[in-house]
């Protein structure tokens, strides 16, 4: 009897790739109100969310039909450090631990068999992290056919799709993953990785100026052929913009929402990103806390990090709402910008004086020495008139 032909990974995720994105669900009404205008285009009904979950379950069932469901020792399973989802708050793990204790493992995880007899996680890291805490030593698993896991870019895209649709991927993880996926698909952007959000923003602003932004909203849900035709005729300034938008539309993500809500998170301070990944701080609160920058606080970066850390801990420990967080941040900024606080210009002057004092004149070229003397002479003359 002929064996069944393995299901290709691109086929497995074809249907899910044509579904819309599910951003992290907000549990508080206030959070919803704060972002409802920007999120409205990506809103899902309970029926649609259920349908997406059923699609992911269907994909897993297809794999089970190919290779069966296996009991795999947890200590033989390794996480994939490059997978899109990097945020695993302790509260979510505790919740999953209790679920595993009460109801057991409902759905198998998806693994990629390795040549050394171990297994790499494709999907199911939350269950893998939680299972040992629930007293489990094995997990039910299905395997991706090895021939379908050789292209790391395809594997990563499959992980991203499942994460978006079934795991409530945090917006920061989504931003980072999209940036990586775009480079996977278009290596020519590798040296301009940090400029990807700027390219998208420039394109969106051009559509706004030309009053054609509504065209993008319509094309997001069009079939692949229609999308490709639009991509070939849209007002792109260069190929980089077209490549970025094509990836987003291929996942049926709204480029406007990605530009407004997702990519800006890449500019969050590293300490705030760390809090997101460790405790799952909401994106809306993270953006508010990020306003506590060194420039806004009129302090150096070291002190700014200390202040942000203190305020963030207060927000988390007291479970402050978004409006309360905004109030706390505003009060903190006012405190550091009060008449008693050093002004920004004072800070800059102190830094400038220290910089000048630290200059090693012996290391400067004659032309640079001449330029420095002219600049200092000009300022000295200005100073004499003011004293």
Q: What pLDDT is recorded for position 355?
A: 83
Strand, helix or coil at 124?
coil
Domain limits, the chain: 9-166, 171-265, 270-336, 353-386
DSSP bridge partners of 244:
none
Q: What is the pLDDT of residue 345?
A: 57
The pLDDT, as a whole number, for residue 152 is 61
Q: Which two tokens stand for residue 55?
A: 């699609």
Residue whose tokens read 């009460």: 102
- For the beta carbon of residue 49, count every other beta carbon within 10 angstroms: 14
Given this model, what pLDDT does residue 315 score? 93
User: Looking at residue 43, what is its pLDDT?
Assistant: 41
The confidence score (pLDDT) of residue 161 equals: 60
Statement: 9-166 belongs to CATH 3.30.1360.200: no
Summary mean pLDDT of the chain:
77
Nearest-angstrom CA–CA distance, 95 and 202: 42
Each residue's pLDDT, cut to its tens digit, for the chain (387 residues) gives: 333 333 344 444 433 333 333 233 323 333 433 333 333 334 445 555 555 556 556 666 666 666 678 899 999 999 988 777 777 888 788 888 988 888 888 888 888 888 888 998 888 888 999 999 999 999 999 887 655 444 566 666 665 665 555 546 688 888 988 898 899 889 989 888 889 999 999 999 998 888 888 888 788 777 888 888 899 888 898 899 999 999 898 887 889 989 988 999 999 999 999 898 888 788 889 999 999 998 888 888 899 999 999 999 999 889 898 899 999 999 999 888 766 555 555 667 777 888 888 888 888 888 888 888 888 877 776 666 555
Determine the pLDDT at residue 381. Answer: 67
| Model pLDDT, residue 72 | 92
Report pLDDT for 126: 87
* pLDDT, tens digit (0-9, with 9 covering 90-100), for 41-67: 344 455 555 555 565 566 666 666 666
Closest CA to 261 of 56, 41, 14: 41
Contact (Cβ atoms closer than 8 angstroms) between residue 156 and residue 85 = no
């Amino acid at each position: 009897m002929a064996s069944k032909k393995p299901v290709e990974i691109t086929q497995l995720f074809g249907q899910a790739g044509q579904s819309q994105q599910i951003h992290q669900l907000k549990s508080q009404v206030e959070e919803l109100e704060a972002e409802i205008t920007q999120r409205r285009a990506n809103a899902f009904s309970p029926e649609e969310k259920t349908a997406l979950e059923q699609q992911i379950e269907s994909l897993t069932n297809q794999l089970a039909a190919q290779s069966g469901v296996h009991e795999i020792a947890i200590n033989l399973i390794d996480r994939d450090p490059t997978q899109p989802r990097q945020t695993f708050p302790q509260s979510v793990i505790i919740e999953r631990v209790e679920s595993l204790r009460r109801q057991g493992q409902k759905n198998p995880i998806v693994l990629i068999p390795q040549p050394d007899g171990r297994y790499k996680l494709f999907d199911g890291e939350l269950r893998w992290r939680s299972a040992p805490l629930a007293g489990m030593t094995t997990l039910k698993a299905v395997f991706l056919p090895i021939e379908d896991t050789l292209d790391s870019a395809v594997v990563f895209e499959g992980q991203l799709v499942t994460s978006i649709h079934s795991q409530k991927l945090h917006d920061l993880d989504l931003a980072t993953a999209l940036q990586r996926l775009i480079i996977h698909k278009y290596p020519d952007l590798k040296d301009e990785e940090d400029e990807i959000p700027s390219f998208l923003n420039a394109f969106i602003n051009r559509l706004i100026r030309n009053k054609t932004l509504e065209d993008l909203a319509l094309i997001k849900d069009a079939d692949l052929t229609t999308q490709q035709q639009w991509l070939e005729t849209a007002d792109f300034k260069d190929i980089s913009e077209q490549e970025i938008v094509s990836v987003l539309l291929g996942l049926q993500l709204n480029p406007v929402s990605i530009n407004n809500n997702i990519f800006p998170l890449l500019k969050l301070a590293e300490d705030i990103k760390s809090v997101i990944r460790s405790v799952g701080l909401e994106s809306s609160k993270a953006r508010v806390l990020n306003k506590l920058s060194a420039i806004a606080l009129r302090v150096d970066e070291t002190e700014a990090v200390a202040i942000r850390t203190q305020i963030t801990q207060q927000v988390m420990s007291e479970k402050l709402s978004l409006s309360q967080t905004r109030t706390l941040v505003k009060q903190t900024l006012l405190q550091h910008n009060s008449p008693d606080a050093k002004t920004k210009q004072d800070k800059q002057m102190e830094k400038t004086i220290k910089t000048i004092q630290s200059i090693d004149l012996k290391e400067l070229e004659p032309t640079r020495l001449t330029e420095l003397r002219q600049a200092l002479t000009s300022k000295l003359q200005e100073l004499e008139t003011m004293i």
